Amino acid sequence: MNKVLIINTGGTIGMALTDNGYTPIKGYFRTELERIEELEHENMPKWDMIELDPILDSSNITVNEWNKIGEVIRDNYDSYRGFVIVHGTDTMAYTASALSFMLKNLNKPVVLTGSQIPLCELRSDGRDNLITSLVIANDAVVKEVCLYFGGKLMRGNRATKFSADKLIAFKSCNYPYLADAGITIRYNMNLLRQPA
Ligand code: ASP
């Protein structure tokens, strides 16, 4: 129970550059994770990874994938401290919102994240988004479905993508951020959902 489960659904973060542009390729995200030395740092949580089949550009995510993600969390709920869902940015907010209503009585963090620039590229924002999401999932302070992107943690069903270009691509509508990840991760404790 001292591990985090990463559920890879696809999206830019783990895409490979092919003759047809950036494409989700089975198994490639794991290869990219193996290149991130920080994931072996002593302060990083241990993690396992499950990949949905197929992995998708998130414009192709449907309610079937929402159900699959929900089933993976249900089947592994007792074995992990928290969950990180790796997802394309285009529909990440919709998946976050759907999961927030699907996963009732959640008592652990479920953090969605992704990136604007793939991990295989020099300036990828995926490294920080992933590392910080893993830390938040392991902290287990937040016990709800949330979305971490560009230094901000937001409630899943309040998040919206507002930029296809900026590395701070999401904002939280009509609700303050649940946490700010600066030099430290500062949780806004009085705003967090309490388990029923
Ligand atoms: N089209 C990609 C997706 O949503 C964009 C991204 O991940 O940023 O899967």
pLDDT (tens digit per residue) in 149-158: 999 999 999 9
Alpha carbon separation from 121 to 6, 14, 118, 150 (Å, rounded) = 21, 10, 6, 17
Give the model's pLDDT for residue 195: 76
9 is catalytic: no
Query: Is any ligand 1 atom within 6 A of the Cβ of residue 124?
Result: no
Give the model's pLDDT for residue 196: 72
CA distance 138 to 166: 27
Helix (H) or strand (E) holding 132: helix 126-139
Q: Which of 90, 113, 116, 147 to mutate to test the pocket of ligand 1 (most atoms within 8 A of CB)?
A: 90
Going by pLDDT thresholds of 50, 70 and 90, the confidence category of residue 36 is very high
The closest residue, in CA terms, to atom 7 on ligand 1 is 88
Distance 114 CA to ligand 1 centre (A): 8
Decide if 93 contacts 128 (C-beta within 8 A).
no
Distance 55 CA to ligand 1 centre (A): 12
Decide if 24 contacts 17 (C-beta within 8 A).
no
Q: How far is CA 194 from the centre of its chain?
A: 21
Query: Is any ligand 1 atom within 6 A of the Cβ of residue 9?
Result: no
Structure tokens at 41: 């740092």
Does the model's pTM come out above 0.95?
Answer: yes
